[in-house]
C-alpha cells in the first residue's frame, strides 16, 4: 500500500511531520505532573468513554526515545508535541522542575535524531488550580498562561524549530463551554463567549512573551470549519454563515483583521467580557505562519425554533471514519485556498493535523490500514493542488504518531500511524506509517 506521491512532488524544504499532544500520550501520573481539568472531568461518570483518563496513556514520559526512533525510521522531518501546563506548573503558577527537565530531555532527544521540534504550548492541559478560578472564563487564566509560556521558552526556546501558542481555540472555548463536549463540559453561551475571547487573549499574551524572548517562528493552530448548507434554501445558507462565524471568522477576523465578526457580536456580544476591544491589538499581532487542523466538513441546516445560533448539524452521505466523520479531502483544498485568498496571502500555511480514526487490529504482527493510506494520500493530493495554485504550504503533520487518548472517546478511537497495545505498550507501525516511509524517506 503506497502513496501516489513522493517527497519530490513537494517543494524543497516542505516539512513532513507527526503530531501528538501531552495529555494524550505522556502519562499524567508521572513526573510530579499536577491534576488537570481532564483528570477531574474524566473522573465524572458519563463524560468520557470508559471513564478513561490520561494518567498512563502511551507512557511517552518514559518511552519517548523509542517513539522518536520510530519517527526517525519513518523519515519524518518534524515532531509536533505539546507542553502540559499541569506538568510545568502543577498549581498553575509554581514551576515543577521535573516537568521542565522532562521537556528539556525530550527536545534534546528530538534534535539528536535530526528531527525538528515543533512546540505547541497549550493543547488543553489546563491545571485544575486554574479551573478552580473559572479557567478560560476568567481573565486571570490567559495572563497566567503568559507566565507558563515564559517558563517553557526560557528552558527550551533555544532548540525548538517553531512555536504554536494554542491548539484549536474553538475546541478550548466553544466545544468545551457551549457544546459541552470536552472539559470543563459547560453548555452556557455566556461562559462560551468569555472563553472565546480569553483563549484569544491567551494567544496574544503568549505571543508577546515569545517575541520579547526573541522567538521568530511563531504561529497558532486552528481547526477552522469547512461548512456547507444542507440545502440551497435561504435558512440553511444563513445558518451556514453563522456556522462560519463561530468556527472560522471568529478566529481569522480577530487574528488577521483585529476585530470579531460583526454578525456574531450583534447576536451574542452582550456576553463578552467588558473591555475586550482593548485586547484586539495584542491578539492580532503578526504571525510567522498559521497551522490548520482538518478532518472533515460540517453540513449545516437551519433550526429557527432553537435559540441562537439557530442551527443543527446534518449527517452527510460520504464514507465515514471510526469517529463518524465524512472523508472529504475536497474540503481541505477549499479551506486552504479560501484562507490564503481572504486572510493569509503570503503567510506560510501548514496542515498541523490531518488523519482518521479506524478500528485497527493486529493480525500476525501486522496492522494493515488501507483506508487510512487512502485518506492520507487523498488529503496530501489536496495539499499538492493547493501548492500548484500558489498557496504557500510549508508542511504537513499526520495526526497522530501514536494511537492515544482521544479525549471524550477515551482509547477506543485509534488515530495513530503506529498502533499501541495499551496493555503491553508495544508499538506496531501500521501500513500507513510504512507508506509515509516509502514516500518521504527517499533522498531528494
Distance, in Å, from the CA atom of 191 to the CA atom of 205, rounded to the nearest integer, reads 20
Is 228 considered catalytic here? no
Give whichever of 138 and 167 is closer to ligand GCO, judged by the CB atom: 167
Could you tell me if 75 and 437 are in contact, meaning their C-beta atoms sit under 8 angstroms apart?
Answer: yes
Closest distance to ligand GCO from the beta carbon of 238 (Å): 27
Could you tell me if 294 and 226 are in contact, meaning their C-beta atoms sit under 8 angstroms apart?
Answer: yes
Could you tell me if 280 and 254 are in contact, meaning their C-beta atoms sit under 8 angstroms apart?
Answer: yes
Sign of the CA dihedral with 358 first, then 364, 366, and 369 last: negative
Nearest to residue 401, comparing CAs of 120, 23, 17? Answer: 17
Give whichever of 63 and 413 is closer to ligand GCO, judged by the CB atom: 413
Binding to ligand GCO by CB under 6 A, coded x per residue (else -) over 274-313, reads -------------------x--------------------
Number of residues that bind ligand GCO (CB under 6 A): 11
Residue 126: C-alpha distances to residues 83, 149, 152 (Å): 11, 13, 15
- Piece in contact with ligand GCO (CB under 6 A), picked from 164-172, 278-286, 379-387, 432-440: 164-172
Distance, in Å, from the CA atom of 343 to the CA atom of 256, rounded to the nearest integer, reads 6
Binding to ligand GCO by CB under 6 A, coded x per residue (else -) over 388-407, reads -----------x------x-
Pick from 36, 47, 223, 321 the residue near ligand GCO by CB under 6 A.
223
Give whichever of 165 and 167 is closer to ligand GCO, judged by the CB atom: 167
For the beta carbon of residue 12, count every other beta carbon within 10 angstroms: 7
Could you tell me if 117 and 81 are in contact, meaning their C-beta atoms sit under 8 angstroms apart?
Answer: yes
Closest distance to ligand GCO from the beta carbon of 266 (Å): 29
Pick from 161, 244, 279, 353 the residue near ligand GCO by CB under 6 A.
353
Give whichever of 236 and 353 is closer to ligand GCO, judged by the CB atom: 353
3-state secondary structure (DSSP) of residue 418: strand
Is 353 considered catalytic here? yes
Catalytic residue (choose from 168, 326, 406, 434)? 168
Give whichever of 5 and 409 is closer to ligand GCO, judged by the CB atom: 409
Nearest to residue 380, comparing CAs of 431, 342, 332, 348? Answer: 332
Binding to ligand GCO by CB under 6 A, coded x per residue (else -) over 72-101, reads ------------------------------
- Piece in contact with ligand GCO (CB under 6 A), picked from 41-49, 165-173, 280-288, 308-316: 165-173
Tell me if 326 contacts ligand GCO by CB under 6 A. Answer: no
Crossing angle of the two packed helices 97-112 and 60-73, in degrees rounded to 10: 10
Give whichever of 413 and 427 is closer to ligand GCO, judged by the CB atom: 413
Q: CA triplet 322, 325, 328: central angle to 5 degrees?
A: 120
Active site residues: 168, 353
Amino acid at each position: 500500500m503506497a502513496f501516489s506521491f513522493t517527497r519530490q512532488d513537494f517543494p524543497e524544504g516542505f516539512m513532513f511531520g507527526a503530531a501528538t499532544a501531552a495529555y494524550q500520550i505522556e502519562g499524567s501520573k508521572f513526573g510530579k505532573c499536577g491534576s488537570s481539568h481532564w483528570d477531574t472531568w474524566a473522573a465524572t461518570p458519563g463524560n468520557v468513554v470508559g471513564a478513561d483518563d490520561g494518567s498512563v496513556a502511551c507512557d511517552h514520559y518514559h518511552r519517548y526515545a523509542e517513539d522518536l526512533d520510530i519517527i526517525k525510521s519513518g523519515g519524518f522531518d518534524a515532531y509536533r508535541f505539546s507542553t502540559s501546563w499541569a506538568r510545568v506548573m502543577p498549581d498553575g503558577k509554581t514551576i515543577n522542575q521535573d516537568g521542565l527537565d522532562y521537556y528539556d530531555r525530550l527536545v534534546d532527544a528530538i534534535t539528536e535524531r535530526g528531527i525538528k521540534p515543533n512546540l505547541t504550548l497549550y493543547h488543553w492541559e489546563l491545571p485544575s488550580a486554574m479551573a478552580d478560578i473559572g479557567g478560560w472564563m476568567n481573565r486571570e487564566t490567559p495572563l497566567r498562561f503568559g507566565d507558563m509560556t515564559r517558563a517553557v521558552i526560557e528552558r527550551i526556546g533555544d532548540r525548538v524549530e517553531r512555536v504554536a501558542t494554542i491548539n484549536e481555540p474553538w475546541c478550548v472555548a466553544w466545544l468545551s463551554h457551549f457544546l459541552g463536549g470536552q472539559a470543563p463540559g459547560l453548555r452556557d453561551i455566556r461562559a462560551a463567549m468569555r472563553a472565546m475571547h480569553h483563549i484569544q487573549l491567551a494567544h496574544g499574551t503568549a505571543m508577546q512573551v515569545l517575541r520579547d524572548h526573541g522567538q521568530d517562528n511563531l504561529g497558532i493552530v486552528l481547526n477552522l470549519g469547512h461548512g456547507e448548507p444542507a440545502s440551497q434554501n435561504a435558512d440553511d445558507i444563513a445558518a451556514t454563515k453563522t456556522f462560519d462565524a463561530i468556527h472560522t471568522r471568529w478566529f481569522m477576523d480577530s487574528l488577521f483583521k483585529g476585530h470579531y465578526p460583526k454578525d456574531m457580536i450583534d447576536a451574542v456580544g452582550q456576553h463578552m467580557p467588558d473591555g475586550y476591544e482593548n485586547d484586539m491589538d495584542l491578539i492580532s499581532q503578526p504571525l510567522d505562519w498559521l497551522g490548520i487542523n482538518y478532518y472533515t466538513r460540517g453540513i449545516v441546516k437551519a433550526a429557527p425554533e432553537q435559540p441562537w445560533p439557530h442551527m443543527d448539524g446534518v449527517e452527510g452521505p460520504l464514507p465515514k471514519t471510526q469517529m463518524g466523520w465524512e472523508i472529504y479531502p475536497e474540503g481541505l483544498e477549499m479551506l486552504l485556498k479560501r484562507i490564503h485568498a481572504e486572510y493569509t496571502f503570503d503567510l506560510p500555511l501548514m496542515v498541523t493535523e490531518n488523519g482518521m480514526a479506524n478500528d485497527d487490529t493486529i493480525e500476525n504482527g501486522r496492522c494493515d490500514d488501507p483506508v487510512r493510506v487512502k485518506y492520507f494520500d487523498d488529503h496530501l493530493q489536496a495539499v499538492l493542488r493547493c501548492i500548484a495554485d500558489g498557496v504557500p504550504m510549508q508542511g504537513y503533520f499526520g495526526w497522530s504518531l501514536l494511537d492515544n487518548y482521544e479525549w471524550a472517546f477515551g482509547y477506543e478511537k485509534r488515530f495513530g500511524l503506529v498502533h499501541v497495545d495499551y496493555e503491553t505498550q508495544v508499538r506496531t507501525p501500521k501500513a500507513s506509517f510504512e507508506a509515509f516511509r516509502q514516500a518521504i524517506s527517499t533522498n531528494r
